[in-house]
Amino acid sequence: MSVVTQQTALDAIWEKVEAGERLNLEDGLTLMESDDLLQLGELADAARRVRGGTDEVFFVQNLYLNQTNVCRVKCKFCAFAVTQKQADAYTFTPEQLVEDALAQREGTGFTEIHMVGGESPHVDFGYYVDIVSKLHEAMPDVHLKLFTASEIHHMTTLSGLTHEQVLVELRDAGLGSLPGGGAEVFADRVRRLVAPGKEHPDFWFHTHRTAHGLGIPTHCTMLYGHVETYEERVDHLLRLRGLQDETGGFLAFIPLAFHPENTVFERRGWTHTAGSDDLKMMAVSRLLLDNVPNVKAYWIMMGMPLAAVALHFGANDVQGTVVREEIFHAAGATTETEQKIEELVHFVGEAGRIPVQRDTLYNELRRWE
Ligand code: V47
């Protein structure tokens, strides 16, 4: 596209954004193909404000746990999963997880536990229910955001129960919400290349739709920066927007940049996504997902300095003060695994925004004006 044509196309998108009109697939592609990064940022920030966004930037104090790294699926992007026979394989008991969480709580005062793990064939559904109920009994005031849609699907195969039955049992044991992992990129072509052993994306949608119907809010994600095309990225975002139109159950979208270290892609010479691509992804996500209230700049993945820039590209959340992260660090992330509240507050403030500590459901707990 020539510079003039590109500018005209972006101007037309500006007009739609200002008029509160919905962007379509073609608009999404125009945005993805644009190299006018600053204008993309301006557009995304304008879209956020037109839709009621303020200067507030949210974060949550959360503890990351992984119940097991044993996984039956061999996703090519993953550096975390191992087989039961490998020396570094672990599967924690519910009691060990509770003990660990209680010990961490003394020093951090987290309000949320975020836990995802491998799809271990060596546990049963009762294991998952026990984890939820024991954590809930030990810390009834802590919100439990546990298990990706892939893990929920795995539980249906372990138990023979339906997705709804699994979710009801987990909810009744104390589950509060679901994280957004397992989405990867929905396009069949991409799925076949990067996660051939994973269930069809229809199950991801079925799980989230069912969760929303049961009053369980969820997150949504996209793992970008590997084999997917711009069109497949846009298609992914529009499919998420479609489900949100139906249910309104997504609290936030998190674009996850592919980290290649210790994966098959590293052996093929792949490197990290460019910061410019991360910012573009952020902006286009905000522009297309007009019905998802929060878009997160996940500092664990992009580093806090770039996450602060992303606040001017449509993001309004920086995830949280995370204690101990493993999935992205296994794949080469070098960010600190525990970012102190003061540092988050500092970065958000330096970006000209108001830091607000929230709970999982975006209720305000504390603000720094
Ligand atoms: O499904 C795995 C991704 C997900 C890599 O809901 C990778 O707030 C990049 O669910 N490079 C699991 N990404 C983690 C997850 C999550 C993470 C952050 C926030 C939230 C939320 C949920 O992590 C997987 C996959 O998409 N992932 N390996 C990698 N090498």
Closest protein CA for atom 17 of ligand 1: 181
Choosing from 223, 329, 337 the residue with most ligand 1 atoms within 8 A of its CB, the one to mutate for a pocket test is 223
Flag whether 14 is in a domain. Answer: no
Expressed in angstroms and rounded, the spacing between residue 272 Cα and the centre of ligand 1 is 15
DSSP string, 266-318: HHTT--PPPHHHHHHHHHHHHHH-TT-SEEB--HHHH-HHHHHHHTTTT--EE
Q: What is the pLDDT of residues 217-238, one digit of tens each?
A: 999 999 999 999 999 999 999 9
Ligand 1 atom closest to residue 181's alpha carbon, by position in its atom list: 10
| Residue 47: inside a domain | no
Q: Using CA positions, which residue lies closest to atom 28 of ligand 1?
A: 78
pLDDT of residue 346 exceeding 90: yes
Q: Is 53 exposed, middle or buried (0-12, 13-18, 19+ CB in 10 A)?
A: middle
Please give the distance, rounded to the nearest whole angstrom, from the Cα atom of residue 205 to the centre of ligand 1. Answer: 17
User: Is residue 8 in some structural domain?
Assistant: no
Count the neighbouring beta carbons within 10 Å of the beta carbon of residue 248: 13
pLDDT on residue 301: 85
The pair of three-digit structure tokens given for residue 66, joined into one six-digit string: 């992984």
> In whole angstroms, what is the distance from residue 110 CA to residue 61 CA?
5
pLDDT tens, 285-301? 999 999 999 999 998 88
pLDDT score for 337: 55
Whole-number Å distance, alpha carbon 281 to ligand 1 midpoint, is 16
The predicted structure's pLDDT at residue 52: 95
Domain coverage including residue 106: 54-367
Residue 209 lies in a domain: yes
Domain-embedded: residue 36: no
Residue nearest to atom 7 of ligand 1 (CA): 258
For residue 120, what pLDDT is reported?
Answer: 98
- Return the minimum-mean-pLDDT range out of 22-31, 34-43, 88-97, 329-338: 329-338
Distance 10 CA to ligand 1 centre (A): 31
Q: Is 367 helix (H, G, I), strand (E, B) or coil?
A: strand
Mutating to test ligand 1, I would choose from 221, 240, 360 the residue with most ligand atoms within 8 A of its C-beta, which is 221
CATH number (domain holding residue 190)? 3.20.20.70
CA of 223 to the centre of ligand 1 (A): 7
Q: How confident is the model at residue 321 (pLDDT cuts 50, 70, 90)?
A: confident
Instruction: Name residues contacting ligand 1 (CB within 6 A).
Output: 77-79, 116, 148, 179-182, 184, 219, 221, 223, 254, 256, 258-259, 263, 298, 327-328, 331
Compute how many other C-beta atoms are within 10 angstroms of the C-beta atom of residue 161: 15
pLDDT at 338 (0 to 100): 59
Instruction: Name the pLDDT band for 309 (thresholds 50, 70, 90).
Output: very high
Alpha-carbon distance 155 to 150, whole Å? 9
Give every strand in the sheet of 294-295, ordered side by side.
218-224, 250-257, 294-295
CA-closest residue to ligand 1 atom 10 = 181
Give the count of domains, the chain.
1
Residue 88 has pLDDT above 80, yes or no: yes
What pLDDT score was predicted for residue 1? 61
Tokens of 113: 């536990």
In a domain, 288, yes or no: yes
Q: Are 70 and 91 in contact (CB under 8 A)?
A: yes
Segment 92-101 mean pLDDT: 97
Mutational pocket test of ligand 1: of 256, 267, 296, the residue with most ligand atoms within 8 Å of the beta carbon: 256
208 CA from centroid of ligand 1 (Å): 16
pLDDT, mean of residues 109-122: 96
Backbone φ, ψ for residue 169 (5° rounding): -65, -40
Q: Does pTM surpass 0.85? A: yes
Separation of CA 172 and ligand 1 centre (Å): 26
pLDDT class of 326 with cuts at 50, 70, 90: confident
pLDDT digits (tens, 9 = 90+) for 28-63: 999 999 999 999 999 999 999 999 999 999 999 999
**Measured in angstroms, how far is the CA atom of residue 181 from the centroid of ligand 1?**
5
What DSSP state is assigned to residue 79? S
Alpha helix (H) ranges present in 145-200? 149-159, 163-173, 188-194
What 181-184 contacts at long range (C-beta under 8 Å, 24+ apart), as own/partner pairs, is 181/116, 181/148, 181/149, 181/150, 181/221, 181/256, 182/148, 182/149, 182/150, 182/151, 182/153, 183/149, 183/220, 183/221, 183/222, 183/223, 183/236, 183/240, 184/75, 184/77, 184/222, 184/223
The pLDDT confidence band at residue 270, using thresholds 50, 70 and 90, is: confident
pLDDT the model gives residue 119: 98
Rounded CA gap, 235 and 361, in Å? Answer: 27
Q: What is the position in ligand 1's atom list of the atom closest to the CA of 332?
A: 30
The burial of 38, by beta-carbon neighbours within 10 Å (0-12 exposed, 13-18 middle, 19 or more buried), is given as exposed
Is residue 76 domain-resident? yes
CA of 159 to the centre of ligand 1 (A): 25
pLDDT tops 70 at residue 336 = no
CB atoms within 10 A of CB 189: 12
Residue 339: its pLDDT value, please?
59
Ligand 1 atom nearest the C-alpha of 79 is: 30
**Mean pLDDT to the nearest integer, 110-134:** 97
Query: Which of 78-92, 152-166, 275-289, 336-350 bottoms out in mean pLDDT, i.e. has the lowest?
Result: 336-350
Q: Which residue has the higher pLDDT, 8 or 168?
A: 168
Give backbone dihedrals phi and psi of 145, rounded to 5 degrees, phi first.
-105, 95
Q: What whole-number percentage of the chain has pLDDT above 70?
A: 96
Q: Does residue 212 form part of some domain?
A: yes
**DSSP annotation string for 280-293:** HHHHHHHHH-TT-S
